[in-house]
Amino acid sequence: MAQEFATEGLVLRRWQSGEADKRVSVLTPDRGRLSLQVRGTQKAKTRMGMLSEPLNQIRFRVVEGKARRLMVQPELVRSFVAVRADLERLSGALALCELVDRWLASEQPEPDAYHMVLNALNALERGDSLACVLGWTVWRLLSLLGYCPDLRSCSACGSALGESDTVWLNLSGEGALHCVRCGASGSDWVALTKAQYQRLCEWVQAEPPPPLSAGAAAEEEAERLARWGIRYAESVLDSSVGWLDFWARLSALRENG
Ligand SMILES: [Zn+2]
């Protein structure tokens, strides 16, 4: 007899599977990221088709068959309507789901990561800075997965980095940080101002994402930290998420109004 269980989750991705069916990748708090089959999505506007869209938080049941797992009886918890209504936010939210889908191992419960993603979407829903939310997501997720470098002390001399006016960060995946006296050279190193370093320390620990003070300069700074985080993450996680493409697309979107 087929086994069944009930759970909730956030739909990260959906793709075609065979003629009439689709598959979804769903992040759940208790069972990690699941890949499930959904039926009857072929006709437009079926209930299953609408509820299994990416960015929906849903409750559902899973029927475990011999060869596959089927999602049944979905019920909507939340659909993040404000995010969907804004092209820039929607692109950011979908990129965030793509990142989580690629970075989290399948079927390994990561309840903290589940709540982190929902916190990020909540922040986008209420209108927080996109650059800040994405930057926070990248660094916070690295921290939750155990890949964040030790931000407290210089990896060369051991001095406390909070005292340093400039902090050097290695983006090649070595996880090295240097104080201003030890310095660094080469294209893998970037220099963080004291303010950038403090924001990074705040992002790694804060939950939910801290609001960004208004202004183009703060926005630009958050975007720079987000890009560095993505470069670093792509080298440590050995997984190209296409985020640098995402930023290029987003910039094009902004320029075209
Ligand atoms: Zn040092």
- pLDDT, tens only, 116-157: 999 999 999 999 999 899 999 999 998 988 888 889 999 999
Higher pLDDT, 92 or 45: 92
Ligand 1 centre to CA of 146 (Å) is 23
Q: Is 53 a residue whose pLDDT tops 90?
A: yes
Collect residues with CB below 5 Å from ion ligand 1.
Answer: 154, 156-157, 179, 182
Task: Give the tens place of pLDDT for each residue, 56-91.
Answer: 999 999 999 888 899 999 999 999 999 999 999 999
Residues of the chain with CATH 1.20.1440.120: 81-255
CATH class belonging to 81-255: mainly alpha
Residues of the chain with CATH 2.40.50.140: 3-78
This prediction has a pTM of 0.87
User: What kind of fold does domain 3-78 have according to CATH?
Assistant: OB fold (Dihydrolipoamide Acetyltransferase, E2P) (2.40.50)
C-alpha 230/C-alpha 248 separation (Å) is 13
The whole-number pLDDT of residue 19 equals 79
The whole-number pLDDT of residue 58 equals 98
Ligand 1 centre to CA of 156 (Å) is 5
Joined together, the tokens standing for residue 165 give 């006016």
Task: With beta carbons less than 8 A apart as the criterion, state whether 118 and 10 touch.
Answer: yes
The whole-number pLDDT of residue 253 equals 64
Ligand 1 centre to CA of 152 (Å) is 11
